[in-house]
């Protein structure tokens, strides 16, 4: 899918401030949907992110679920990244590259969920990102496994 296709379906997007730790640029819509795009070709969508509770992974894990529930559904050995967003705090990203899904888990007490801006308890999924299986390294620094 291209950015033109997403913009025609969702309205105009805006370039989101480059997040520390991500390898790609991202665009955001007022609905909270985020698209990660290729640095080399800004038109190519690499993955989509949402904090909407209606969306779940193929194994049923999603926003507001606990980190433990995600690990039980998807496995105990994801690539684990500790990342920080300016003004929002720290979170832990559990990347299941072979499945094409990543879960951002709140890892700091004062972190607020991005959309809507409400307090999200520590240990719960704040948002999830989907991408083609095996291509998470285009969005996340998977070589920095922790």
Q: Report how many domains make up the chain.
A: 1
Residue 145 in domain:
no
Closest CA to 38 of 26, 52, 49: 26
Tell me the per-residue pLDDT of 40-84, one tens digit each, with 9 for 90 and over. Answer: 877 899 999 999 999 999 999 999 999 999 999 999 999 999 887
| CATH code, 70 | 2.60.460
Q: CA–CA separation, 54 vs 4, rounded Å?
A: 25
Q: CA–CA separation, 63 vs 57, rounded Å?
A: 10
Residue 146 in domain:
no
Residue 146's pLDDT is: 44
Residue 75's pLDDT is: 95
Tell me the per-residue pLDDT of 18-49, one tens digit each, with 9 for 90 and over. Answer: 666 788 889 999 888 999 998 787 789 999 99
- Tokens 């193929």 -> residue: 58
Residue 19's pLDDT is: 60
Confidence class of residue 111 from pLDDT cuts 50, 70 and 90?
low
Higher pLDDT residue, 112 or 10?
10
Residue 21 in domain:
yes
Residue 110's pLDDT is: 55
- What is the distance, to the nearest Å, from the Cα of residue 57 to the centroid of all Cα atoms in its chain? 12
Higher pLDDT residue, 99 or 86?
99
Beta-sheet strand order (sheet of 25-28):
14-16, 25-28, 34-37, 45-50, 125-130, 101-106, 89-96, 79-85
Q: Domain range for residue 34?
A: 3-140
């Amino acid at each position: 899918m291209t950015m033109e296709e997403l913009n025609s379906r969702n309205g105009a997007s805006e370039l989101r401030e480059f997040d520390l730790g991500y390898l790609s640029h991202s665009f955001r819509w007022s609905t909270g949907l985020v698209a990660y795009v290729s640095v080399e070709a800004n038109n190519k969508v690499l993955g989509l992110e949402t904090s909407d509770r209606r969306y779940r992974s193929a194994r049923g894990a999603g926003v507001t679920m606990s980190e433990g529930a995600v690990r039980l559904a998807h496995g105990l050995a994801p690539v684990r990244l500790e990342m920080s967003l300016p003004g929002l705090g720290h979170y832990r990203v559990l990347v299941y590259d072979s499945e094409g899904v990543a879960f951002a888990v709140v890892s700091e007490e004062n972190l607020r969920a991005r959309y809507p801006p409400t307090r999200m308890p520590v240990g719960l999924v704040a948002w999830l990102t989907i991408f083609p299986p095996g291509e998470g390294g285009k969005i996340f620094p998977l070589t920095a496994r922790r």
